[in-house]
Amino acid sequence: MEKERSKILFEKLKKCIADTFLQEYSTSNPSISDWKGIEIVYFQEHLLKKVKANVSEKWFYTYFKSEFEKLPRIDMLNLLSQYAGYKSWAEFCDKNNEAIQHLSQKAQQTDIQDFDTYSNSQNNQDKKQFYQNKLIQRAFGLLVLTCIGILVYIGYKKNTEYELYFYDSDKKTLIKNLELKPLFGSKATIISNKEAFYTIETDFSDDSIVISVNSNYYKADTIKINLSESTGKESISLEPNDYANILYYYSKVYNKEGDSKKIEIKRKQLSNIIDGNALIYQYFDNDDFGLEIYTKQQYIDFLTTPTTSLKNLEIIKTKTNKGKIVEIRFKIKENEK
């Protein structure tokens, strides 16, 4: 009985909390159980402003948006009561006991009326059997509600995995080996692509996720996906980093020994796209050397001299200004020994 009374009091407190919040945020949903996304963020800020208390989104979902086994800690109940205009949880309970007693009396009266009706029509049935039937009815109702809650939860969970397909905007081909990272506190988890797509797992409470995309050969981008409108598969186009691709291309062509005419053409083309004062760095993975600085001419010589190193060239970063490359960062994925 005490447990049921505490739950009723806490539901009353939730209503008072919503009323307090709506005094400043009148456009929000009046039912606290229906709040989500930005409404929860505004409530967190308002709670911190009024009583210097913090609650996580997980805590909010546990106690305000779902069934719970026990009440929050007494210190949190005190802070929530203060937010609603009371000195403490004890004061809130004292001032709202009358409402709880009224509900209890109403429930008892309903049982008495049901019993009188039943006794008049079934005088030969034992009263004890009547109460047992009432108990079974309530237990069955609770079981049905629990099953519905589980089905709703499973319904949310079944759509928490999404597939992302990235395409080259020019060639319309699939892109692999991208660096993906969730932003802005999203609970999304990036699973490495084992096929031609990336799989993302999200918390069922997420409305949308924001992901940063990075690659050596494609321009960095930030992608926002509205999960409520997603079909589970998203196709995203990325714009190539032309200068990085040009340098990579030059490292792969015309590097046969003896092809002096083609190599000379290649050197002129490189000279035209690289600024005379470009900053050029080679990074090393070993512990002996961190990086090496190249002049423009040294870098052109490196790219036009046939070596096995060029097969493993990886452009880390390029920077341009007025149509010229002014910065190049690269490494050889497998350094020569």
Check if the beta carbon of residue 259 is closer than 8 Å to that of residue 190.
no
Q: What is the number of other CB atoms lying within 10 angstroms of the CB of residue 333?
A: 10
Q: Report the distance separating Cα 329 and Cα 283, nearest Å.
A: 7
- The 3-state DSSP class for residue 281 equals strand
Question: What is the 8-class DSSP label of residue 276?
Answer: E
Q: Report the distance separating Cα 252 and Cα 312, nearest Å.
A: 10
Q: Place 266 in a pLDDT band, splitting at 50, 70 and 90.
A: confident
Candidate from 63-77, 95-109, 155-169 with smallest mean pLDDT:
95-109
Q: Does domain 161-238 have CATH number 2.60.40?
A: yes
- Return the closest-CA partner of residue 186 out of 234, 229, 225: 225
Candidate from 168-182, 261-275, 319-333 with smallest mean pLDDT:
168-182
Predicted confidence (pLDDT) at residue 336 exceeds the cutoff of 60: no
Highest mean pLDDT among 41-45, 112-116, 138-142, 303-307: 41-45
Q: What is the pLDDT of residue 181?
A: 78
In percent, how much of the chain has pLDDT > 70? 71
Phi first, then psi, for residue 290 (nearest 5°) are -90, -55
Strands annotated E in the chain: 161-168, 179-183, 189-191, 198-201, 208-215, 218-226, 233-238, 274-283, 291-294, 313-321, 324-332
Q: Report the distance separating Cα 186 and Cα 222, nearest Å.
A: 14
Q: What is the 3-state secondary structure (H, E, C) of 191-257?
A: ECCCCCCEEEECCCCCCEEEEEEEECCEEEEEEEEEHHHCCCEEEEEECECHHHHHHHHHHHCCCCC
- Whether the pTM exceeds 0.75: the reply is no
Candidate from 50-54, 112-116, 185-189, 285-289 with smallest mean pLDDT:
112-116
Query: Which whole-number Å values give the CA distances from 124 to 78, 119, 121, 130, 222, in the listed order?
Result: 52, 8, 9, 11, 75
Q: Place 297 in a pLDDT band, splitting at 50, 70 and 90.
A: very high
Give 21-72 pLDDT, tens digit per residue: 888 887 667 888 888 888 888 888 899 988 888 888 888 888 888 877 788 8
- The 3-state DSSP class for residue 298 equals helix
Q: What is the pLDDT of residue 298?
A: 92
Q: Which residues contact 15 (CB under 8 A, 6 or more apart)?
A: 32
